[in-house]
Amino acid sequence: MADQLSVPPVLSGNFAFFFDLDGTLADIKPHPDQVFIPPAVLSRLHQLAQANDGAVALISGRSMKELDSLSHPYQFPLAGVHGAERRDINGKTHIVTLPESLVKQIELELIAALDGLEGTELEAKGMAFALHYRQAMHHEEAIFALAKSLEEKYSELALQPGKCVVELKPRGINKGAALEAFMQEAPFAGKKPVFLGDDLTDEAGFKIINRLDGVSIKVGIGATQAQYRLESVASVHQWLEDMLDQQKQEMALTNRRDGYESLSRSI
């Protein structure tokens, strides 16, 4: 879509909400371990879930273990590692795996290859690998070439570029597929889906959201398939707050109307 996208409306109704984490709910930091979701934002997510039958999920390239840690003390439905890990509203997990021997072989190859690329970092996720180069932007071309060579060597893998990272993950796994899986389950089924994300990894999700006649929201600059845009993480936080304020106002009006009708019947 064109870069000139409007700000999303403050939504009210029968919606299911899906959020990316890094660059969407939390500011990107020099190192992934420095990332956090502000407590006030976590509280708003919890309130949003309560107001929408629990239909709020996090969908990220991070592992579910990391997502749980970052969203503590709350526990949301999750899709980690771009959907290779998924936990539904009832706590049931769905995990896509690769053979252990293959994972170990790929990890050893990556360790050896990255040893000569100072400043890069390998994040092994069990069934996927993230090659970070935020601290070594001059190695971007070499990182892409390495990832591409392994994608060609191992048919089980697919390359996924991101912001200062290239990931190798099981083929067929993406955030769009994770969204589709959630939308077939309670409490998401039957609701209009909303997805916020900032990265190339989120475009597969936007594609599915658009197909389902949902609301797709790109955070930050860049070409996208999303319908709307919020300029920053801070804008996401404000949008969340505005949405909750509107829902509270509507609930108060409903309660007053119900109370008036009850009083009228009694009279």
Catalytic residues: 20
Give dist(CA 15, CA 95) in Å, integer: 26
Task: Name the residue among 56, 49, 127, 122 with its Cα closest to residue 85.
Answer: 127
Residue with tokens 């796994």: 173
Q: To the nearest 10°, the Cα dihedral for 56, 60, 63, 68?
A: -30
Give dist(CA 212, CA 173) in Å, integer: 19
Q: Is 206 helix (H, G, I), strand (E, B) or coil?
A: helix
| Exposure b/e, 214-245, CB count within 10 A at least 16 = b | bbbbbbbeeebbbbbbbeebebbbebbeebbe
Give dist(CA 224, CA 252) in Å, integer: 37
Task: Name the residue among 70, 60, 150 with its Cα closest to residue 105.
Answer: 150
Q: What is the CA radius of gyration of the chain?
A: 20
